[in-house]
Structure 1
Amino acid sequence: MEPTDDTRLLKTIAAAPQLRTPDETEALLDSMPLGELASMWCALQRVSRRDQIGSIWAIKVYFDHLPHRKPQAALNLVLDVLKTEADKPTVMQLNDKFLLALFYAHGKEMMARVEQEAAHNDRLRWLLGGVHVGPDDPLMSRIASLADREAWHADHLAQRTPREPLDCANMSVAELARAWVEQYSRSERDQDDNLFAIMDFERDLREDDPDRMIDLILEILKIESNPVLLSLLAAGPLEDVISVGTIDRIEREARADARFRDLLGGVWYYRAPDDLKARLDALIGESRW
């Protein structure tokens, strides 16, 4: 599918009023021809995180549930995408999105058909190279006998390796903020090891330099207003950095910056010590998301 086709399809999805509830979404998409459904799934893999709202989110959830609700239909979709989609990073998403769930929830039911299909489908054997179940799972040896692990791992390594690895330790706070927004905006299809570099650096800052972590959060707020990314910022870096040791700084910043105070509304702190919880309650008030 060409990018222009993706754009046209996704605009249609976003405007569709019948995709506002899960039941209506299932009723519409369950009746869609397989080829159209596969094209829709492929288009979704190219949607950035920041745009996964409304009907886009509704159909994303539909596909997440499909292997559990209708395993044979999910496998049909996998096979259709393997047959029709040329973009390898998109096709690789079939592994996490469908095959792992199918084997976990319906392994015995699926295995015989997968073996039958893999006998004459090189791309399916390649895709199976990325499937990992427990070493004691009786399916493991059957999957291993089919899988082209060498080819899969070569492609997976290429997909995960960034063209320009981030050197977070030597970046300014402003540079880190721009990198954070870029990495967290990417769809899962487009993520690489730079995202994990950012995540590891967040952990290091939280543990070793929480004030700089708060500096980074404030810098991100200066350049980003997308609600999806702000929810990730609140539920991740901000929630993780709040502690008895940082609450004084948190209070100062919340009094000085209304957007920072609003961001606190996306933090969950039910397990915090009572004193810390009381201070956060006083800051957030009725502004919880």
Structure 2
Amino acid sequence: MDFHLAALKAFVTAAREASFSRAADCLHLTQPGLSKRIRSLEDGLRVELFDRIGRRTVLTEAGRAFLPHALRILAEAEQASQLLRSLQPAQVGKLHLATTQHIGLYYLKPVLADFVRQYPGIDLTVDFKTSAETHKLLCQGELELGFMSEPPLHEQALDYVAVLEERLCFAVAGQHPLALLKALTLQDLARYPALLPGSNTRCRRLIENLFQQQATPLDVREPSNYLEALRMLVEAGLGWTALPEVMISSTLCRLPLAEYEPSRTIMLAYHRKISLSGPARLFLEWVKTHPLGVHSAA
């Protein structure tokens, strides 16, 4: 048995209209073109599907028996087509993602700029959140995608794509006493206030673990979870901090403690049980093939 969907559609339309001419009009075909499709179907099935009585077209017994099967085949073909279309990421629609300030300011600009140029039909909204805020919104299903500095401990709800490794560096203001020392230990840092984000952050855990391994207590101040705010306070001489290497500007002194500098992974996260929209899937694939790059936040 050999027939095409176009021939099935011609048969079903002719059966519905009871007229080859009206069926041809419905399908935007010539009447000979419609007749050819139906004849090819009859040849494939080796039966006559219609009796032609003057200008009327009447289904034969075989035609009446075949009609429900033809309708079902066309319906299933349309469902399959819709399924395949749904698997292709949409190039129009809305996309809402979140990022921390420092990821957005120092890494995301080129990626976002190229993405919106490539897909102008996608309405992209970016919110600046802490990693903890982004994690909460993703878990609640209020956000499709979010950049963060590694997942919280014992994460179960989200999936992650690693997009960047960054090194954390110890830094002080140029006139801070630590900046005047050529050789340093962690014990030297412990003599001065540490300006660090909250204890629920990956940055804080990395630094605390480092000092615990050295059995060295820390004098921690928690003025903000935003690294830009911490940098401003360090520039004012209020203490030392640990910042991503990309944030060490000319107003800061990077301390010679390279052997102690920890690293962390920047992740793009999404809920593992929530189907991503077409624009979100497009962006996820875009980030996988367009690595985040370092750029000036100015």
TM-score by length of 1: 0.21
Higher strand share: 2
Higher helix share: 1
Structure with more contact order per residue of length (Cα contacts < 8 Å, sep ≥ 6): 2
Larger radius of gyration: 2
TM-score by length of 2: 0.20
